[in-house]
Structure 1
C-alpha cells in the first residue's frame, strides 16, 4: 500500500504529492507529532489547574478560551524543563527514528553549553506545541469527516450536526461528503507540512554545537591515541620476537649437525623469547579488553634498566654480532632514568635491532649515552652520586641539570645490497612508531642511510621526572 501511495510517474498512478502527504515517511512524521502531543499533556494538565484557579474554577476541557490559555501556559513550562540533560538524547532518538533525518547532522549526548540547551529548549517547545495541535486535529477531524461523508446516507445525522453547529441551515447534504474529504485532505496536508518543518529544523536546533564538535574530536583523538599505542606495542614486541625467533631457528638449522652447543643455545633463546612475548602480548590484550594498563596479573612493560641485557643476549643468539657501548659505565646502569624514558628507549632500541635483523647485515653497533649536564650514576670516591646525595636522590642542582640532559640512542649497521630480499625500505610502521614514542617525550628519531650503512638515532630529553 505504501508503495502505491509513493509511486511517481506511473500511468494512471497518483500524483507525486500523494507520496509526500501519505507515504511511509509522512506517516512516521505524523506519528512523531502525535508523540509530541502526548508529551505535552502533563504540562497541559498542570497549566489547566492554574488557568482554572485564575478563572475562578472553570474547566479548560469544556471551554475553548480556557483550553487555549492552558495550551499557551503549558509551552513555557515545557521550555523550562528542556534545559535538563536527558531531553536532547530523547529528542535526537525520536527524530532519527521517525523524522528521516540523517544522524550525522544531530548531536550526541546531553547538551553541554547553555547555547545548546537553549536550542534544545526551542526544539522541545516547538515539537510539543506543533504536536499538540496536530494531535488535536487528528482526534477531531476524522469523526467530523466521517459524519459529513455519511450525511446523505444516514437519516437523522443532519439534525444532530445542525444542533452541534457543524452545518449551516442551507447546506446541501449531498455536498457534505466533498467537505468531509476536504477536511481529511487538509489534515493530511497539515500533518505533512508540519512534519517537513520539524525535519528541516531538527539539524538546526539539535545539531552539534562547537562544544559538541570539540568533545567528539577529543574523543576520536583519544581513541586514535590508544589504538596507535596498541599498534606500537604489538609491532615492537611481537614483531621483534618473530624476527628473532625466525633467525634463531634458521641459524640452528644450518649448524644442527656441526655445532650442537649453538643449537641448544638458540633453542633456549627461542624459548625465552616466546615466553616473554606471550607475557607482553597478554598485557597488551588486557589493555585492549579492559582498558587497564596496570592489571596486576600482567607482565610489566620492559625497560632499558631491567631488560636491555636480555634483549641484546637474545639478539646475539640469532648469530648477529652486536657491539654495545653505554655511558654511564660499561654495564649500563640506567636505573636512575625516568620510568617512561626507560620504557620508550627500550622499545626504540628493540625496533632498531628488529630492523637490523630483518633488513640489514651484521655487525650492529649500539651506543647509548647521556649528552649535556652531569650523567647520573657516576660516583665519586665517597660513594656520592654526581647528581645527588648518598641515597641516589637528586639535589636541587641535579634536578636543574636534568633539564639540559638528553638520552641519545645511536644504532648503525651495514645496509643490505639494493635489490636483494633483505634490502631496506625507507621506513615502515616500526620507524613511525619509534618516532611517535620519541615525540611523546619531546624528542626525535632519525633513520636513514649514513656513511655507507644504515643509522637509527633517537634523542630523548630527560626532563619531566618519573612517570
Structure 2
C-alpha cells in the first residue's frame, strides 16, 4: 500500500514543479519583452556613438546597448506604480505567497529603491533568458537532426567537423544537452527571482505601519457601527418587549392601555428603523456618510431627542426622575455635536440596562460643570438592580460600548454598585474633539 500511495504524491509534485517552471519561464519572457523599448532607445544612442553602425549588426554593440538600457530601467523602476504591477506578476507567475509581498504603490524611497532593483533584475535577466530561449532551441534541433540529414552537414554553419567517423552521432547528445541547459537556466533563474521577490517586493517597515493603521481605522469604524446597532436596536427591542408584555397582561381589562402600548411600539419601531437605515447606510457607503448619517437623518442628540427618549422609556412603565442643568453652556443646543450625540447614546444604554435588569425608579442627572478650568458633561444614572451583575446574560457589551464612547472623547466611565443601588457615571470633556 505504501508504494502505491507514494506514486501519486510524487506525480503531483512533478506536475507542480513543471507548472512552476513554465510559469516562471513566462515571467522571464515577459521581462525580456518589457526590456525591448529600453534596448531600442539605447541602441540608437550606442549606434550614434559608434559612428552610425547598427548595434544589431555587432555583438559587442548589442551588449553595449543592453548595458546602457539597464540604468534607464532602474530609473523607471523608481515610480511608485511599478511595484503593484511587479507584485501581481510575481504572485501569479513566480508562485510567491501574497502575504509575503507588499500591497499598493511604493511610497517611501527605501521601497522605491528596492522595487527599482527588482525591476532591473527582472527585465535584465529576463532579456538574457529570452535571448537564450530564442537562439538555442533552433541550434539544438539542427544538432539532433544532423546525423540523419546529410545536407545539413554541407551547409556553411560550422558543422563540417561532424562529417567523419562516429562524430555525427555525438551531435544529438549535444543538442539534447543544450535543450536541457535552457530548461535548467530558466528554472534556476525563475527560482532565484522567486526567492528574491519577498526581499525586494516585500513590505517595508513603513508599509507594515500603514497596514496596521488602516486595520486600526477599519476596526474603529466597525466598532462604532457595532455600538450604534447595539444601543439603538437593543434599547428599542427592550422597550418593545416590555410594552408588548404589559399589553398582553391587560388585554381584556384595559383596552385603553393596550392602545397606548401599541402606539408606543409603533413609534419606537418607526424611529428604530430610521436609525437602522442610517447605520446600514454607513455600511453601504463607507465612513464618509457619518457626517450626515445617510439619508435617514442625523444621529439623535441630547439637545433634540432626550425628551422623546425619556417619554418612550416612561411608557414602558419605568419611573424616571430627570434633573438637567446645562451649567456654563446655558443651553443644551450649545453642546459640541459629538458630545451631545455620544451623551444621548450613553443615556440610552443606561435606560436599556434599567429596563432589562433593574427595578424601581431611575434617577438621571445630566449637568455641565467646570473642573480644573475645563468644562465637563457628567451623566449619572442610578437605579435598584433586580439581578446581580454576575447573573446578567448580555456579556456586558453595552457597558463596554459606553466605555468606548467615553474614551473616544477622552472621558471616563464608572459602573457598579453604589450604596446598595446600581450606578452608571460617565464624564465627557467638552474642550476638544474626538481622539
TM-score relative to the length of structure 1: 0.85
CA change 1:46–1:149 in 2 (3 A) is same
Which residue of the partner structure matches residue 206 of structure 2? 211
Which residue of the partner structure matches residue 343 of structure 2? 345
Pick from 414, 425, 430 the counterpart of residue 384 of structure 2: 414
Which residue of the partner structure matches residue 404 of structure 1? 374
Which residue of the partner structure matches residue 62 of structure 1? 57
Pick from 331, 334, 337 the counterpart of residue 336 of structure 1: 334
Provide, for residues 33-74 of structure 1, a one-character-per-residue CA deviation record: whole Å limited to 9, x for no partner: 000000001111111111111111212222111111111111
Structure 2 residue runs without a partner (length 5+): none
Which residue of the partner structure matches residue 117 of structure 1? 112
For the Cα contact (< 8 Å) 1:148–1:179, is it kept in 2? yes
How far apart, CA to CA, are the structure 1 residues paired with 2:80 and 2:307?
56
Name the SS for the 2:103 alignment partner. Answer: coil
TM-fit CA distance, 1:418: 4.7
TM-fit CA distance, 1:423: 4.1
Which residue of the partner structure matches residue 362 of structure 2? 364
Provide, for residues 140-178 of structure 1, a one-character-per-residue CA deviation record: whole Å limited to 9, x for no partner: 111111111111111211122xx2235646781101110
Structure 1 residue runs without a partner (length 5+): 1-6, 374-400
Pick from 411, 417, 425 the counterpart of residue 457 of structure 1: 425
For the Cα contact (< 8 Å) 1:416–1:424, is it kept in 2? no
Pick from 168, 173, 176 the counterpart of residue 178 of structure 1: 173
For the Cα contact (< 8 Å) 1:360–1:424, is it kept in 2? no
How far apart, CA to CA, are the structure 1 residues paired with 2:163 and 2:413?
95
Which residue of the partner structure matches residue 233 of structure 1? 228
1:129 has 2:124 as partner: yes
TM-fit CA distance, 1:260: 2.6
Task: Give 1:149-188 correspondences, 5 Å limit.
Answer: 149-160=144-155, 163-165=156-158, 168=161, 172-188=167-183
TM-fit CA distance, 1:428: 2.0
Which residue of the partner structure matches residue 102 of structure 1? 97
TM-fit CA distance, 1:216: 1.2
How far apart, CA to CA, are the structure 2 residues paired with 1:114 and 1:466?
33
Name the SS for the 2:56 alignment partner. Answer: coil
Which residue of the partner structure matches residue 311 of structure 2? 313
1:248 has 2:243 as partner: yes
Name the SS for the 1:320 alignment partner. Answer: coil
Provide, for residues 389-444 of structure 1, a one-character-per-residue CA deviation record: whole Å limited to 9, x for no partner: xxxxxxxxxxxx8x52211111121222459xx94358522111111110111101
Provide, for residues 434-460 of structure 1, a one-character-per-residue CA deviation record: whole Å limited to 9, x for no partner: 111101111011222332232211111
Higher helix content, 1 or 2: 2
How far apart, CA to CA, are the structure 1 residues paired with 2:374 and 2:222?
32
Which residue of the partner structure matches residue 380 of structure 1? none
Pick from 177, 195, 199 the counterpart of residue 200 of structure 1: 195
TM-score relative to the length of structure 2: 0.91
TM-fit CA distance, 1:296: 6.5
Name the SS for the 2:107 alignment partner. Answer: coil
For the Cα contact (< 8 Å) 2:409–2:433, is it kept in 1? no
Which residue of the partner structure matches residue 216 of structure 2? 221
How far apart, CA to CA, are the structure 1 residues paired with 2:322 and 2:405?
22
For the Cα contact (< 8 Å) 1:33–1:135, is it kept in 2? yes
Name the SS for the 1:188 alignment partner. Answer: helix
Which residue of the partner structure matches residue 443 of structure 1? 411
Task: Give 1:379-398 correspondences, 5 Å limit.
Answer: none
For the Cα contact (< 8 Å) 1:416–1:423, is it kept in 2? no
How far apart, CA to CA, are the structure 2 residues paired with 1:233 and 1:261?
34
Which stretch of the first structure deviates more once superposed, 319-328 or 128-137?
319-328
CA change 1:98–1:465 in 2 (3 A) is closer
